[in-house]
Chain A
Amino acid sequence: MPIIEIRALTVKYARRKLAALNQLTLDVQQGETVLLLGPSGSGKSTLALTLNGLLPQAVGELREGQVRVTGLDTQEHSVADLAQQVGILFQDPDAQFATLKVEDEIVFGLENLGHDPAGMDARIQQVLTDVGVLALRDRPVSALSGGEKQRVALASLLAMQPEILVFDEPTANLDSMGTQQVFALMAELKSRGKHTLVLIEHKLDELMHLIDRVIVLDPQGGILADGPPRQVFDEQGQALQELGVWMPQVAVLAHALRRRGVELVLFPITLGEAVRAFRPWVASATPAAQQPARTSQATPALEVKQLSFAYGHLQALQDISIKINQGDFLAIVGANGAGKTTLAKHLMGILPPPAGSIALHGEEFTSIPAKQLARRIGYAFQNPEHQFVTETVWDEVAYGLRVMQEPEDIIARKTQELLETFGLWRYAKANPFTLSYGEKRRLSVASMLALGQDVLILDEPTFGQDERNATALLDILRGLNQQGKTVIVITHDMRLVLENANRVVAMSAGKVLFDGAPAELAGMPQLLSDARLTLPPLARLSALLATEHPHLRNVLTMTDYIALSQ
């Protein structure tokens, strides 16, 4: 008997026209590890919620069909019963705690189920050991790192001994260190073989060796593809990319090479396989002529001199000196808490820099009035919602122009132009808060650009977006950069850095560890690990291949690989 049986399931949310899931039928066998993919809004999280009965018992509406887990119908059994069969690890590490301390959190479910307190101590020991955080038992949850929070949240699920574990993008809010911790845990659970795992993730290359089966949902809430990962990514690759579904980078590369007539001995889905699959081709590919390094003009747009800053006792920035040249596409990278955002806040005057520590086009920063600053530097916050100040998309973009008292006809023209560039024209009358996450992000960038600032600072611009939205935004940023605007991006996404930036500043514990070309940073493993950064899959692939084929050392991105094939 399958451990999960879904029959003709149709789910709807109140106030939405379309069904979130539509006539979905699906079986999962005991012990399987299933990867659930789909474009944003295709119902992946909705499907996860149906598995422990939260949907329809807490949210949503189950129109038709049936879901059974371990033989229990989720509409007939309470969430409390189902919680002992299915545990869901959610995306937001901060929103899933109910109590203030690790230990309290672990027993929370057991207490609710009315378990005998006598057995709880052993259970706490057991699950905290299983996820490798026994030492954190007496800590307040607020003192944990993102990765630790997710481990504790998982332990609190394991305490209820569910057979099925669902991971709903648990690494989406984590830096690379936290992500590695969670992935290691998934691998550990898989190897123990006690659980059926359902994963929703988009950082795929590091997970593919765990996956038995891939299920892809289509935008209408049905099933687009279902099968072993190699088969799905091989046969449906084209369709998945068109929908903006994340795929392993090595699989995307394999498709790109095939389209260019390269024959592969096998279709790779993991790094290890990619080394085998691409080796023969790499040996014959001629190294592309070195692109002349893009040089920015040597006039500094922003110059930071010996900037230090502390929040109380916590030293957030120590003696930072950087010259950001006009026309740079600069990435500031580092783990959470490295000081990236603090530095960026100084560049925008949100935190006032000490006199003499920052100059904008040679002008002393502290002598520039705030309004002038807003005209010359644009800043997009990590959460776009924070920036919205008006009630329509149109007003949002026009706002900055109105503040600067531009004439109405210019405001109208510029606003329309920007809305069209960013694909938001049809929402002009909508309330900004009703847009999708990707659209909100684009709107926040559009409204920031209205004043024609020539320095743009963006905090985690691709955070929480699907492949297509992320790519679209970066294309726009690159275009602006080519027009001569200086773009500064704060990120921990090294793929974004290697594909877009001409310069990277790596920070750790408030200090600059590295300042130079991204390719150079990619070749410094010790420094990367000190800054707690991990290279994207294709760059790691090159490092593996470069042991035999040194000309691959500077091939770091999809574009580099494709250039190699010509």
Chain B
Amino acid sequence: MQTLYQPHDSFLHRLNPLSKLLVALPQMALMLLASEPWTPLAFVTLISLTLLVLGRVKLGRFLRLLGPLLMLVLLFTALYPFLVRQSLVADTPLLWALGPVKLYQGGLYIALVTGVRILGVLISSLPFSLTTDSADFVRALVQQARLPYRIGYSTLAAFRFIPMLQSEMSVVHAAHRVRGVDSQPGWRGKLEQLRRSAVPLLTTAIRQAERTALAMDARAFGAHSHRTYFRRMRFGHWDWVYLLGYWALGALILLGLRSLGLLGPLHVLQIL
């Protein structure tokens, strides 16, 4: 499957996928809950440095990834002030107005905050997704997080179906076009198109799944409740160093922001 992962040797690549996940998940939550731009901005900086230094992600690649995210955030910031409930911001200075459309300073501020929070959430996952092989992730889930191996490995096998189904889908559409199938406008036409391509796609998927299942059974998959692992995943001291070090640094950042009076209360989206 097409993932963001690129094989490389770096501190982040060598870590257990779970330690990277345990850094990313609470961080995402923090980004969601922040109510001012400074916390997300500080963490975006921290994540960027982590990626570039510890993950040895090339600056060019990082910028190429960041570009579209920034565009998204800008677009959001441009539209959001007009969607905010006006009563929330009507007491702030009016910056611009055209008839009923009004741009308040408060609205713009909320839009900016939300924009950087979204950016923060999006790039929080990068240290994990750019440096983690999906097979290693499954191994770590099975070996450390005690996910039943039958589920983990079946998921891994299913991963390989996604690109197959994607290419199958485009061939089916082409084949139907050649037959002179007109796509009818509207949801009725869409539904009809979906039904038509669903049958050949399902046929292929089921046949493929049966074959894969047989081939896996033929190599003793699921025969015993335990299996051994050639690649043993470990949650080693470097994982603890990363996990605890990252959060110690995170706590320092939060303390620093508070002493500067920049840390706001944490709450879920309440603006719309």
Contact = CB atoms under 8 A, between A and B. Distances in A.
Interface of A: 49, 52, 54, 57-59, 78-80, 83, 87-88, 90, 92, 94-101, 103-104, 107-117, 120-121, 124, 142, 153, 156-157, 160, 345, 348, 350, 370-371, 374, 379, 381, 383, 385-389, 399-400, 403-404, 433, 447
B48 to A, nearest CB: 28
25 contacts: A78-B223, A79-B223, A80-B223, A83-B219, A90-B215, A94-B160, A110-B228, A110-B230, A111-B228, A111-B229, A112-B220, A116-B228, A121-B230, A142-B160, A350-B177, A370-B180, A374-B178, A381-B178, A383-B204, A386-B168, A386-B175, A388-B200, A389-B179, A389-B196, A399-B179
A100 B135 contact: yes
A109 B223 CA distance: 10
B181 interface: yes
Q: Counting chain B CB atoms within 10 Å of each CB, which of A80, A400, A447 scores highest? A: A80
Given A107-B230, A114-B224, A387-B176, A156 B181 contact: no
Contacts of B164: 94
A54 B223 contact: no
B94 interface: no
B208 interface: yes
Given A99-B156, A433-B199, A114 B219 contact: no
Contacts of A97: 157, 160, 212, 215
B214 A112 contact: no
Contacts of A387: 175-176, 178-179
A162 to B, nearest CB: 10
A381 B178 CA distance: 10
A313 B79 CA distance: 36
Contacts of A78: 223
Contact of B208 (A79, A95, A110, A371): A95
Interface string B134-154: 110000000000000000010
B: contact size bracket: 35 or more
A116 B175 CA distance: 50
Contacts of B160: 94, 97, 100, 142
A95 B174 CA distance: 24
Contact of A90 (B159, B182, B214, B227): B214
A108 B213 CA distance: 13
Nearest to B164: A94
A160 B135 contact: no
Nearest to A123: B230
A404 B204 CA distance: 30
B178 A379 contact: yes
Nearest to A58: B217
A149 to B, nearest CB: 12
A350 B199 CA distance: 21
Interface string B174-205: 11111111100000000000001001100110
A152 to B, nearest CB: 12
B234 interface: no
Nearest to A57: B217
B224 A385 contact: no
A370 B176 CA distance: 12
Contacts of A115: 228
Contacts, number: 156
B222 interface: yes
B203 A433 contact: yes
Given A79-B223, A385-B203, A387-B176, A98 B196 contact: no
Contact of B229 (A117, A370, A399): A117
B211 interface: yes
Contacts of A153: 215
Nearest to A138: B7
Nearest to B226: A114
A140 B229 CA distance: 18
B218 interface: yes
B232 interface: yes
B216 interface: yes
B255 interface: no
Contact of A348 (B134, B135, B156, B178): B178
Contacts of B74: none
Contacts of A400: 179-180
Nearest to A52: B218
Contact of A96 (B215, B224, B227): B215
B14 to A, nearest CB: 16
A391 B220 CA distance: 39
A532 B208 CA distance: 29
Given A379-B178, A385-B200, A58 B224 contact: no
Nearest to A402: B180
Contact of B212 (A83, A96, A103, A404): A96
Given A80-B223, A110-B230, A160-B219, 4 more contacts: A96-B211, A111-B228, A113-B227, A387-B178
Contacts of A57: 217
Contacts of B224: 80, 112-114
Contact of B228 (A98, A117, A385): A117
B159 A100 contact: yes
B171 interface: yes
A108 B218 CA distance: 11
A370 B223 contact: no
A464 to B, nearest CB: 13
A136 to B, nearest CB: 15
B221 interface: yes
A334 to B, nearest CB: 20
B60 to A, nearest CB: 17
B172 interface: yes
B118 to A, nearest CB: 30
Nearest to B163: A142
B171 A111 contact: no
Q: Counting chain A CB atoms within 10 Å of each CB, which of B178, B211, B221 scores highest? A: B178
B92 to A, nearest CB: 49
Given A114-B227, A114-B228, A388-B199, A98 B178 contact: no
Nearest to A388: B200
Contacts of B212: 95-98
Given A111-B227, A112-B224, A114-B228, A98 B179 contact: no
Contacts of A156: 219
A378 to B, nearest CB: 8
A350 B212 CA distance: 31
A92 B208 CA distance: 9
A95 B215 contact: yes
Contacts of B204: 383, 385
B45 to A, nearest CB: 34
Contacts of B226: 114
Given A387-B176, A403-B180, A95 B211 contact: yes
B180 A404 contact: yes
Q: Which 5 residue pairs spanning A and B have beta carbons closest together?
A: A80-B223, A109-B219, A96-B215, A95-B211, A80-B220
A101 B231 CA distance: 12
Contacts of B231: 104
Contact of A157 (B181, B219, B221): B219
Contacts of B228: 110-111, 114-117
A374 B215 contact: no
B232 A117 contact: yes
Given A99-B135, A99-B156, A117-B232, A374 B179 contact: yes
B221 A59 contact: no
A385 B200 CA distance: 6
B211 A92 contact: yes
Nearest to A457: B178
